[in-house]
Structure 1
Amino acid sequence: MTNIDTRPRANTQDRMTRLERLAAQLKGDAPCTIEGLALAHGVSRRTIARDLEIMREQGLPIEAERGRGGGVRLDANWGVGRLNLSYAESVDLLISLAVAEQMNSPLFLAQMGSVRRQLIGSFSRDKRRAVEGIKNRILIGAAASVTVQTSLEAPQKRVVQRLHQAFLSQKDMEITYRREDMSESVRVIEPHYLLLNFPVWYVLAFDHLRQEPRTFRCDRILAATEGFETFKLAPLSAFEGALSGNNVI
């Protein structure tokens, strides 16, 4: 009697997700068999076989081991240059590269140019101009004082991502901010520059509430929402007061 796979056919998204997981499994150290993969993913052996064939057609060097068990594996050297990053992850990585460039350390600069060019190439045409000038908007200052470091808290991941995106897109953003005296306020700011006084990050911004440039500690931003209004980048000289220690809240 012929066994018929009566389970519903996977949609495109399911298959893409499964292919990604299969690639990760096949590159791992644990031995894989078609039977084991089928059980792990809740599909038939035939479906796994089709998936493996699709992966081979996409250029993945999948090797089949002869003998009992039908072992399969992915060439351990495969994978370089095949990262799939979301927009938020790409923005975070690009800013991290810009920080490394500004620090001018030979340890970080070996292949920086090539990585940066490939990353910029992944952005849409309308975002590339802003992306290419991002290095000049990141400032590296002196290390923060012991007093400041003692009060440092880890910023929220979601806040950091939204700040990065508004910074890159040159859009205003609404933030909930906690001052040193623990009072909180809601403000609309334009994030023009980022300043690192290691390990403390600051954003040099135009504050719509006060109608003047201000410096905000990033770890004190409790919530953030990217706005819709774009702003024209102001020269760094407009933030001299903020950089000298004035208007830091």
Structure 2
Amino acid sequence: MTNSSFEKRSDRRDRLIGLLQSEYYWQTSDLREELGISQRTLMRELAQLRDAGYPIESSRGVGGGIRLDGRWGVGRINLNHNEVLELILSLAIVESLKSPLLTSNLKAIKQKLFQVFPENQRAAVSDIRQRIMVGDIAKQYITSFYRAPEQAISEPVATSFLQQKLLKIEYVSEAGERSQRVIEAQYLLLNLPIWYIIGWDHLRESSRVFRIDRIQHATILDERFKLREKHVFSGIYSPSYPPI
């Protein structure tokens, strides 16, 4: 994904929303001039705002035009590319947990955020979602020795996963054995509260599952990896959970 193109589009959309929040109606010709865009681009932006739930109203005749419904008053929130991506993924994960309370608007919120991405980047976001799974809540005997991973571990793991870069780790097995590994973070699995990497281990030359809280050190390498077919990993975890 190209951060600069995302930020340019996001800034333009923020400006458009800001203009439409004014008390008077805008002519499309004036909006085009203010934003420096074509009629076609403006119409596409307006259509996507409507699809995302923005209440754009129009008035015909002299003095008419378009604006946001005056009763609409959500303030501007400045989020960068990675923040929007992580927020979409977090909402999708929460939605997958199927909580009966306080989640009725998650799908609509997620869709509005998704619309912020340029069309050519939405497929990449969808592909990332296909690589994240949410399973059952972890059993108590599994969580008894669980400690939430520190940011020094979780950040390189997340970056390795999102950017498809090799990850060098120091790992402690359930038996307490330490080893150095270079792995591909192909998939992520959450058995709340424990996260697992379902990946390819270059030391063993085979698929492996790694508990993220057992990673002692993590370093991102420059080399990128390609995604492997999901069936390569189907034999190392059970059951197979649907993606978020």
Structure 2 length-normalised TM: 0.58
Residue 142 in 1 paired to residue 142 in 2?
no
The match for 2:175 among 159, 181, 189 is: 181
Residue 172 in 1 paired to residue 162 in 2?
no
Q: How does 1:229-240 map to 2 (within 5 A)?
A: 229-240=223-234
Residue 133 in 1 paired to residue 123 in 2?
no
Note the alpha carbon deviations across 1:90-140, whole angstroms, 9 max, x for none: 443233122123334464653334433444455678754332222221222
Q: Secondary structure at the match of 1:93?
A: helix
Farther off after superposition, 109-118 or 173-182: 109-118
Cα distance in 2 for residues equivalent to 1:161 and 1:144: 22
Deviation at 1:214?
Answer: 0.3
Specify whether residues 224 and 124 from structure 1 end up closer, same or farther in structure 2 by C-alpha distance, changes over 3 A only: farther
Q: Is the 8 A contact 2:95 2:107 kept in 1?
A: no
Task: Please tell me the residue identity of whatever aligns with 1:209.
Answer: L
| Aligned residue in 2 for 1:228 | 222
Q: Secondary structure at the match of 1:133?
A: helix
Paired-residue identity, %: 39
Specify whether residues 230 and 119 from structure 1 end up closer, same or farther in structure 2 by C-alpha distance, changes over 3 A only: farther
| Aligned residue in 2 for 1:54 | none
Instruction: Mark the structure with the bigger radius of gyration.
Output: 1
Cα distance in 2 for residues equivalent to 1:233 and 1:84: 32
| Aligned residue in 1 for 2:209 | 215
Note the alpha carbon deviations across 1:50-99, whole angstroms, 9 max, x for none: xxxxxxx9x89xxxxxxxxxxxxxxxx99845333355544432331221
Cα distance in 2 for residues equivalent to 1:229 and 1:86: 25
Q: How many residues align?
A: 175
| Aligned residue in 2 for 1:204 | 198
User: Which runs of no fewer than 5 residues in structure 2 stay unpaired?
Assistant: 1-18, 23-70, 240-244
Task: Please tell me the residue identity of whatever aligns with 1:215.
Answer: V
Q: How does 1:1-249 map to 2 (within 5 A)?
A: 80=74, 82-105=76-99, 107=101, 109-120=103-114, 128-244=122-238
Q: Secondary structure at the match of 1:189?
A: strand
Root-mean-square deviation over aligned CA pairs: 3.4
Cα distance in 2 for residues equivalent to 1:232 and 1:167: 11
Deviation at 1:181?
Answer: 2.7
Cα distance in 2 for residues equivalent to 1:127 and 1:185: 37
Cα distance in 2 for residues equivalent to 1:192 and 1:118: 27
Deviation at 1:218?
Answer: 1.0
Q: Secondary structure at the match of 2:236?
A: helix
Q: Secondary structure at the match of 1:110?
A: coil
Deviation at 1:148?
Answer: 0.9
Deviation at 1:161?
Answer: 2.2
Task: Please tell me the residue identity of whatever aligns with 1:85.
Answer: L
User: Which runs of no fewer than 5 residues in structure 1 stay unpaired?
Assistant: 1-56, 61-76
Deviation at 1:158?
Answer: 3.1
Q: Is the 8 A contact 2:207 2:233 kept in 1?
A: yes
Q: Secondary structure at the match of 2:185?
A: strand
Q: Secondary structure at the match of 1:130?
A: helix
